[in-house]
Amino acid sequence: MSAIQLPQGDPTRDLPCAHGGPVGQGLMRAVPEDFVVEERLGYSASGEGEHAFLEIRKRNTNTVDLARSIAKLCGIRQVDVGYAGLKDRVAVTTQAFSVHLPGKPDPDWTILADEDIEVLSVARHNRKIRRGSLRGNAFRLRLREVLADRELLEQRLASIAAQGVPNYFGSQRFGHDGANLRRVHLLLTGELRKMKREQKGILLSAARSQLFNQVLATRVEAGNWDKVIGGDVLLLEGSGRQFIAETVDDELIQRAAEFDIHPSGPLPGRACRTLVPEGEAAWLETQALRDWADWIDGLARLGVDADRRALRLRVDELAWEWDGDDLLLSFALQSGSYATVVVRELLQVRKE
C-alpha cells in the first residue's frame, strides 16, 4: 500500500500560487448575486427536433436538483434532461437544459418558475446537450470589503491577464472539506465495491483531479507551470491535438508565450491514444505521483482512459473596477475551469 497522505479539509487550500500569493483578503458570495455565471455554449437551439431547449437563470439552486424538477414536470427520466455542466449553487447562473420530448407537447414551463428560477427562453433542438459540450463561462464577481494594497492588487491582475493562472481543479470537485477523496481511496484500493454509477463517476473524477493538481503543484513550485520543458506533452489551443516537445526551441517558447500551445498534466487512467511525457517532464510527473501508485492502478483497473489537461488557464476579457471597498471582477474561462482558482491568486477569501 502506497503512503498516501490525504489532505485534511479543503484539498486546494495549500496548493502553491504562481504569482506570489494573495495580497489581501475579501468576502466572496455574501449573497448569490455576488457570483454571476453565464454559460457560453458556442451554439444555439436548432429550432426543430425532439428536444426542448430551455435557457434558465437560477439563483441559489443546484443544477442536478433543477434537472430533477424538470424531469418530474415532464414525466420523464432524469437522464433525459441534458446540460453542459454543473453550475455553482450559491450564485446566479444562466445555463441551457435540453429535455427529450419525442412526440410530446411542451408542458407549462411557467410551473418551474419561482423566486429563484426564471425560464428565459424555450425553443426546439435536434439533440441532447451533453456534459462538457460548451465553449466556456463568463463570470462577474463582487468581492466585498477588500483589505489589500490596491496598487499591488492591480499589478497582480495585470500579471494574470498576461500569464494566466495554474489550471487547478477547484475545491468544488472534491466535495465538502475534501470528503470525496476519503471515499475515493476506498474505491480505488478495492475496499468499496457497491456504488451507484453516478456517484462512482464523481469519485473517479475527484481522484483524477487530485492527481492532476499534485503534478501542477510540482510544476508551480519549479516555476515552469506555464513554460515548455523537455518531453512535455503540449496541447494546441482550441483543439484536442497533442504533440511531444522533443526539443525546446525558440519557436515553441514563443508559441507558449502567445497561448498557442500549453504544457499539460495527466488525468491518469489506462493507456490509450493520449501521449505520455518524456525526459524532464516525465521525471517531474513521476516525482509528483510517486506515492499515488494505488490510485493510478485503480483508475486503470476500473476502465478510466488516460487523458491530458492544460497546466495553464488563460483568463480572457479580464476587467476590474472598485465600488468603494468592493472589487468588481469580470472575466471568461474555458469549459472545465474554475473562477476560484483566479481569485485565490489575488485574495484570501473569508466567509461571513
13: left (phi over 0), alpha (psi -120 to 50) or beta: alpha
Rounded to an integer, what distance in angstroms lies between the CA atom of residue 12 and that of residue 23? 18
Among the listed residues 10, 14, 34, 88, the single catalytic one is 88
Please indicate whether residue 88 is annotated as part of the active site. yes
Residue whose C-alpha cell is 439563483: 59
Beta-bridged to residue 244, according to DSSP, are 233
Contact 128, 51 (CB under 8 A): yes
Contact 321, 117 (CB under 8 A): no
* Number of other residues whose CB lies within 10 A of the CB of residue 118: 15
Beta-bridged to residue 41, according to DSSP, are none
| Residue type at 42 in one-letter notation | G
Contact 266, 215 (CB under 8 A): yes
Taking the alpha carbons of 15, 226, 330, 113 in that order, is the dihedral positive or negative? negative
* Number of other residues whose CB lies within 10 A of the CB of residue 298: 21
Contact 180, 291 (CB under 8 A): no
Taking the alpha carbons of 341, 315, 66, 101 in that order, is the dihedral positive or negative? negative
Q: What does the block give as the cell for 130?
A: 451533453
Helix %, strand %, coil % of the chain (to 5) = 30, 30, 40
Q: Which residues are catalytic?
A: 88
